[in-house]
Amino acid sequence: MSNLNPHSPFWELLPLKGLGPIRFLTNKSTMQAYHGELGSITAERNENLEQQQQELYDTFNQFSEFFSQDDLNNVLEAMQVVGDSRDDISTVFMDSGISLEYKADQLVEVFADDRAKQLHFQGMPIFSTDPKQLVMYISKQLNETPFIKSEEIAFPVHNLFLFSFLSEQAGGAYHDGEKKSRTVSWWNTARPYGEDLSAYRPLELI
């Protein structure tokens, strides 16, 4: 990968916008130009509602003695609800620790794990900064109160989610999360799946 500057403009996390020069809703076909920075593709996953339903029918037919028609109908109904938001989704995984998710070939999510050492938010490294300092800095710059549940921190107005940076403890205390499990994801719109944010509570670090 080309640029090792930890404050490289290419590696700037831009909530609601994208990653550096890569903007949300960019077409998948144009991403080849960024592989020098993002690294090699290690895997690609495609999600298609029709295909998933066919696989379910095949499984039901193979093990029909264990499942009733009502069981099948319930799963199909749940699949339809989720599938509306997950249909025509493809995810491309890079060896840099970045994953890019597309809907109808348009970029809708950027996901990063701790291999993305160069990723930063306005000059502050994401994966090497003290977690509390990082969250406080992001909160100040975005002018948004973060919310937490268990190990996930959410900035819902900016569709930004951090996992395993802090871990919620009994009595309102917080510990650093498992460093090697840390991830960050950000979306162009509200996250189409995941837990109801009403179950989260404001994160108070001061």
- Checking if the pLDDT of 131 tops 80, the result is yes
Most confident of 1-5, 72-76, 111-115: 111-115
Structure tokens at 19: 């990653």
Say if CB 145 and CB 202 are below 8 A apart: yes
Hunting for tokens 């493809």 — which residue is that?
Answer: 90
Mean pLDDT of 52-69: 62
Mean pLDDT of 106-122: 97
pLDDT digits (tens, 9 = 90+) for 173-198: 899 999 999 999 999 999 887 678 88
Structure tokens at 182: 């840390």
Helices within the chain (DSSP H only): 35-38, 49-62, 69-86, 131-142
Rounded to whole angstroms, how far apart are CA atoms 20 and 121? 10
pLDDT digits (tens, 9 = 90+) for 80-105: 554 444 568 899 999 999 999 999 99
Structure tokens at 163: 């996992």
**Pick from 161, 178, 66, 157: nearest CA to 111:** 161
Determine the pLDDT at residue 51: 62
pLDDT digits (tens, 9 = 90+) for 133-146: 999 999 999 999 99
